[in-house]
Amino acid sequence: MTTATFPLLPFAAVRERLLARDETALLDVREEDPFAQEHPLWAANLPLSRTEIEAWRRIPRRDTFIVLYGEHAGTDLAPLAAKTLASLGYTNVHLLEGGLEGWRKAGGELFRDVNVPSKSFGELVEHERHTPSLSAPEVKALVDAKANVVVLDARRFDEYQTMSIPSATSVPGAELVLRVRELAPDPSTQVIVNCAGRTRSIIGTQSLVNAGIPNPVAALRNGTIGWKLAGQVLDHGADRQAPAAVSDAHRTQAQADARRVADAAGVRRIDLAALRTLEAPGRTVYRFDVRTPEEYAAGHLPGFASAPGGQLVQETDHQVPVRGARIVLADDDGVRASMSASWLAQMGWEVYVPDAMPEAAAFSEKAAPSPAHPPVAAVVPEIAPAELAALLEQSPSNTAVIDVTTSANYVKRHIPGAWYAIRAQLAQAVDSVIPPSPRYVLTCGSSLLARYAAADLRALLDARGQRDAQVLVLTGGNAAWFAAGLDAETGETRLATPRTDRYRRPYEGTDAPAEAMQAYLDWEYGLVAQLGRDGTHHFNVSQGS
């Protein structure tokens, strides 16, 4: 395939592939915020800005069937993304005919927000299984009365620390079945599961119901959003976590429960020695260790990436952008992999877990696999932090520092005077916002992304006849600058492009407006109807447990 032209694929052909479960990576190459405004159900976000950084990890098979779209501000980013992917070795790249507008005009359903497959699946689970729940005032009354109740927060620990229900303990989703009996050994204890909104509390609660724990279980209806909308006060900075140790009796029971649930959901079993047999021609295989990040760092199976189970179920579209791929999950207890796999199987994935728990010695790899990145198209000279600091002090108007890190990191801390720019929008930034300069210095957290951006800028300036302008990369990036004790600046001081690289979740942080939180809940309530109109989901909520 040449990089000049790429075949167009109409909506009907993409839909046919999704219905047939043929392996397909439908990729939206815009930034996360425009992606979150509207996209097809099975579209995964792979921003053009980060293609070289993420593609080889997220789409491991180079002959994967890929379909791209991505209109932004009157520019179609998809052809450039296709050329980039082709340069990375991908041989089966297509463009969505008519782009997103073509999808809409053909009658394709469009969804809002992020992690939509998982969130819509959670709504379907509640709809089909009638997952029990209690309102925020009901849960508050139990907590205030010091009733026989435990509240378990199924989010990541950092999310829990930002804001949590008073008295809640952090137990990320995949840990619930393994650890609940340590926290609620009395079968009469009421167990409440919460998250920020709805999905992880529904999936967490239904996991405990499916596993058959004897306790009454209920989701906190609408999570911390519901708590705030009820005018109730959240905790901040809590640090309660489930005990690391699990008794032999509780572990044995959880193993039996999890295996039964996984079998009922259609999870497949495989001998680890036979994993290679899954890597057939035309088949993508993802391998994930679903334990906690700390356990993963202490030792994991070679070739397995870290993806804590609760978050994997929540963010499947990000972790597994190739719809129709095979997924292998592993742990060291026989519980977390089986429970996580049970949900992925119900979401229509072909998912495997080891038939027998791996021996302790098998968890021999300590470091996370080092991601491979393609070489930069053009080598750009570098400048050390101390040298850049001297230049900025001597003649600040002769050096434009452009930071292509995430906007959140830029706002938190950046080099004084640096401009923020999204890499894919460098041309617009240099054309209309950043004043012409005899010297440009590109940076980001480590300068990994900055090297690709600097090569882009060098080519852009050369094409415009500005060959005398210097383009440099900051050695070691922002991390090296700050490690050297050099000055920092905070806030949105110089935005050369809007902060569209990340979509602000309505449930995120402590200052979300009530109207946005309620609108988010209303959107979630409508997802089951959207699934019905879309028709490509292949979700099958298991009634057996």
Domains of the chain: 8-113 (3.40.250.10), 120-244 (3.40.250.10), 259-362 (3.40.250.10), 382-483 (3.40.250.10)
| Banded model confidence at residue 74, pLDDT cuts 50, 70, 90 | confident
Answer yes or no: is pLDDT of 3 > 90: no
Report pLDDT for 544: 55
> Does residue 407 or residue 2 have the better pLDDT?
407
Amino acid at 121: F
Long-range CB pairs of 371-376 (<8 Å, 24+ gap) are: 371/53, 371/56, 371/57, 372/56, 372/57, 373/52, 373/53, 373/56, 373/448, 374/52, 374/56, 374/87, 374/88, 376/451, 376/452, 376/454, 376/455
Compute φ and ψ for 354, nearest 5 degrees: -60, 140
CA distance 412 to 9: 42
Mean pLDDT across 222-233 = 96
Answer yes or no: is pLDDT of 336 > 60: yes
Mean pLDDT across 96-102 = 97
- Number of Cβ atoms within 10 Å of the Cβ of 357: 17
Angle made by CA atoms 493, 496, 499, in degrees to the nearest 5:
80
Compute φ and ψ for 489, nearest 5 degrees: -130, 150
Mean pLDDT across 191-200 = 97
| Mean pLDDT, all residues of the chain | 95
DSSP 26: E
Answer yes or no: is pLDDT of 470 > 60: yes
SS3 149: strand
Angle made by CA atoms 371, 443, 58, in degrees to the nearest 5:
25
| Banded model confidence at residue 511, pLDDT cuts 50, 70, 90 | confident
Tokens at 159, concatenated: 């999310």
Report pLDDT for 431: 93
Mean pLDDT across 237-249 = 96
| Banded model confidence at residue 367, pLDDT cuts 50, 70, 90 | confident
Report pLDDT for 4: 52
Helix (H) or strand (E) holding 170: strand 169-170
| Banded model confidence at residue 512, pLDDT cuts 50, 70, 90 | confident
Contact between residue 471 and residue 451 where contact means Cβ atoms under 8 Å apart: no
Contact between residue 307 and residue 286 where contact means Cβ atoms under 8 Å apart: no
Answer yes or no: is pLDDT of 2 > 50: no
Angle made by CA atoms 331, 220, 118, in degrees to the nearest 5:
50
Contact between residue 11 and residue 40 where contact means Cβ atoms under 8 Å apart: no
Please state whether beta strands 71-72 and 75-76 pair in parallel, antiparallel, or not at all (unpaired).
Answer: antiparallel
Answer yes or no: is pLDDT of 305 > 80: yes
pTM of the model: 0.95
Q: What is the pLDDT of residues 140-152, one digit of tens each?
A: 999 999 999 999 9
Answer yes or no: is pLDDT of 73 > 70: yes
Answer yes or no: is pLDDT of 46 > 90: yes
